[in-house]
Amino acid sequence: MVVELARRYIEEGGLTFEQAVKKIDDELVFTNHTLKQAGNDIFSYELIEKYFVTYLDNLKTDLPKLYDLGKDDLYAEGNFSMTILGLRNAKISNAVSKIHGQAAAKLWPDYNLVPVTNGVHMPTWVSPEIHQLLDAYVGENWHIPGSAVDFEKIQIIPDSELWQAHFRRKEKLINSLNNELGLDLKTDALTVAWSRRLTAYKRPDMIVSDLERLKRLVGNEDRPLQILISGKAHPKDTNGKEILARMNRSLSASEFSNKVVLLPGYNWQLARRIVSGADVWLNTPYRFEEASGTSGMKAAANGVLQLTTRDGWTDEVDWFKKGWVIDEQHPVDSLHDTLEYKLIPLFFELNASSYNTEWVSMMKNSMQSVLYEYSTERMIMEYLSNIYGPILKAKDDGES
């Protein structure tokens, strides 16, 4: 975009290359979505020359000056960095969560990335059953941008109605998986889901890091636990594919049959069923490596409780009475301890209507916390106020 904008300003506005770049510096916004090397492309001088040499006349410049726009001596050994191109030539750059901004400051200390935490389009991801409850008790405008909505009204939803809405989604998920895959999953089991892109920094294999303890947890027939794992590795992510293969081998033991299941065919439709049908959403990235993450937002909006490490968006939430935090110092033990001593006992301490009132209270707290704060509406308004607004104001002031 930097190069194409420069070409337009030069050809249509009669600017020099230097003037065009200065104009871009006053107008461009750059968003970084990941700190991972695979998501921050770099190219050699020879490759830039190959593809841009015929472009130089349009830009009225030479290759060294063009190359300097993205040349990165500090992080890319003098290669052309697409990320540095964006950071160096943008008026404002932003990260996609607060902790992402902190991590980016360590990686790129010469640049300030304003945090604007990601959000999700709630009407797309909230299930029809939960949507109907929100219409009835919060107001039919709860998902309409610009509406005045009191999400505290979530607390007046009758416990039984919220639980039944959730349980219907759970039944649909479990029944569909049983029918499609020939499984024997149980609707009365505590159902934990790990579902997202499968790559090393997200630690999909944390749950299988202590197989003997996992066997004991899922082997309790009085308090049944089942864990659903779904996701795809990028075709070029060799490490991610190796992790998936190791998990598949580890879970081949008979003790895990219909208890810990690697679901094939991960896609948008399956993800939508899981985010509204699981009881618990497992989120396990290494700290400072998840830029934001959004799958947990979708789940929490449906009342699915979080069991999570603190990274990305989850680092911004006080999880007291909303979910559980995995201790990063001893993550595997913490994960299993939390399941064994907190989640499982709470979930199976049932009232006469076969649900736990404290669990349902946490579901309400979770929904109340995320339905606006992690929506695309809030995200867009924050971009307008913190990113685009200041640029437009500066431009207006400069022209007045």
> Can you give the pLDDT at residue 39?
86
pLDDT at 400 over 70: no
Give the pLDDT confidence score for residue 215 in this predicted structure.
98
Mean pLDDT of the chain: 95
Task: Please determine, for residue 355, whether its predicted confidence score (pLDDT) is greater than 60.
Answer: yes
Domain 122-374 superfamily per CATH: Glycogen Phosphorylase B; (3.40.50.2000)
- Mean pLDDT of the 11-40 span: 93
Residue 298, pLDDT > 60, answer: yes
pLDDT at residue number 284: 98
- What letter does residue 285 receive in the DSSP assignment? P
pLDDT digit string, tens, across residues 156-203: 999 999 999 999 999 999 999 999 999 999 999 999 999 999 999 999
Residue 75 has pLDDT above 90, yes or no: no
Residue 71 has phi, psi (to 5 degrees) of -65, 135
Percent pLDDT > 90 in the chain is 92
Query: Which CA distances in Å does 336 have to 212, 327, 342, 389?
Result: 11, 11, 10, 46
How far is residue 187 from each of residues 86, 92, 174, 260, measured CA to CA in Å?
49, 49, 6, 14
Q: What percent of the chain has pLDDT over 70?
A: 99
Report d(CA 316, CA 47) in Å as an integer.
41
Band (37; pLDDT cuts 50, 70, 90):
confident
Q: What is the pLDDT of residue 360?
A: 99
The CATH 3.40.50.2000 domain(s) of the chain lie at 122-374
- Using one digit for the tens of pLDDT, what is the confidence trace for 267-293? 999 999 999 999 999 999 999 999 999
pLDDT in tens, 53-70: 998 999 999 999 999 999
pLDDT for the residue 22: 93
Query: pTM above the 0.85 mark?
Result: yes
pLDDT at 399 over 70: no
Q: Is the pLDDT of residue 81 over 90?
A: yes
Average pLDDT (115-140) is: 98
Give, in order, the Cα–Cα distances in Å from 26 to each of 93, 169, 201, 393.
12, 49, 36, 11
